[in-house]
Chain A
Amino acid sequence: MFKYFAHTKADIDKMLKSLNINSIDELFSELPKEVILDSDYDIPSFKSESELRHYFEDLAKQNKELTLFSGLGAYDHYQPAVIDALTSRQEFMTSYTPYQPEVAQGTLQYIFEYQSMIQTLTGMDVSNASMYDGTTATAEACFMASAIRKRNKILISKTLHPNTIEVIKTYLKFKGLEWEFIDSEAGVTSFDDLKNKLDKDIAGVVVQNPNFFGYIENYDGFSETIKDNKSLFIVNSDISTLGVLKTPYEIGADIACGECQSLGMPVGFGGPYLGYLATNKKYVRKMPGRICGYTHDLEGNRAFVLTLQAREQHIRRSKANSNICSNQSLMALFVTIYLSVMGKKGLKKVNNLSYQNAHYLYDKLIKTNKFSDPFKQPFLKEFVLETTLSHDLIKEVLLKNNIFGGVSLSIFGEEYDNLINFSVTEKRTKAEIDKLISVLEALS
């Protein structure tokens, strides 16, 4: 007997009798004999619950929780305690896609609230119910631009996070679409290069703000130029920063997309996170992913349902613009609770505290004379520097002090060889920041 199965021997006998068979194996008579398994899987034996705990406690000991001064797509922000308390409720956690709205109003309502919050943060008209992560949401935004404009090429700014660039490239390559890069100039997207490369084949232009280096870009003139070319402007942003920064709508974006991990989600070794995607209402039918809409039931009660499903794969099949058939629903709940707790003031405060911490660290590091700023652009919570110190040495010494930070961007390719990244959220204490500074100061 095993705790996840309810059947006793007597139950099984009773069921077999009702089916008029002698053994369960008779139900598998159609399976080709030559492939039927005749031995056990070569995998470990079962573990009792306490053995299991010990096993994973031991495994966990082979990992090290570090004080994070690194971002690069995964940020260590404060997670309010109420979030786990609520997201772990089985009503949310164990239910599935709200196919039966009468018994899924909990899910549908928080999706509606999630969409409302993404709407107000981005300033766009409409958000979908969420996507896998910021990189795939951006790749899907490129597909969307191509479908809307019926053009085959995407311009990608070189200041995007290399992981996002890689994912876009994979998606475009297999779909048979093309891309070209817009150069960066002093760490931000070059407007001149954009103008040079816009032509009638360009379906969309992708930029990231704040960009891979943490810089806040200036998009004066971008939107008009892109629209004159009848291309779509795709703006990728870390959603948390939109609590204070100019919105994609204000920048003139046609599609806003990006990552929501920064809304207090655990860095979690890379996932699950959540990608958001929002656009203008006129493009909603080309938008990938689920969408929830307001309606009423037959007694006139307020209700929410999945809607505009005729865009999606289960109806459109090979004619759908995207193959996505789920959302990161539980993480959308996470986002909704986080933003409810933080509210407009909390989110602003998180950004301001992160800004203060990051700028304090920046000034102190520059003062050591071991670090210099090659670009001198405005930033929020993340920045890059050049250094006279060896990147490996920094890594090793910080690790000895249980710190992960000063990440060498060489891991993303030669073109970033001389740069190291620091990211500071509101969670870092003055003592932690000062310790980082003193450790680095002592190096030579």
Chain B
Amino acid sequence: MEREIILKRILASKSESDFLFQANLQHKLMPREDLSLMIRIFLAKKFLLERIPDETESIYDLAEESLSLLLKKDVSEINELQSGCSGATSAMAKKVLFLMALQRALNIKFAEEAVADIRTVESMTEACYHAILQQNKENGGA
């Protein structure tokens, strides 16, 4: 029963964050601080966090915290819960899935080689900000 409640929360969260992004993408270029806040709210929603993370936090640590909340396990056991044979940790997997969702939400594309270098919320915001700038430039926007 608890799992159903969590699942409903995730689904509800997804709709709400989509709304947020839809509303704010009316602006072609939002200030970096606003973009940072939007991304952090999106991250909090996706990860089921009960707080908005700040920019200095590690995405891997946040992913582990999210998995812990989701699975009701201790954080130290997260790395043993990987589902594949690739050698990727659960935190790595969660980070990548979030970045893929963020790409869709912002309609941007991260360079494949740059993804592994995104380690903090700040570096993720920077990568998004520059990708949006680049896109605006290519589209002849402001």
A and B part of one assembly: no
Q: Using a CB–CB distance below 8 Å, which chain A residues touch chain B?
A: none
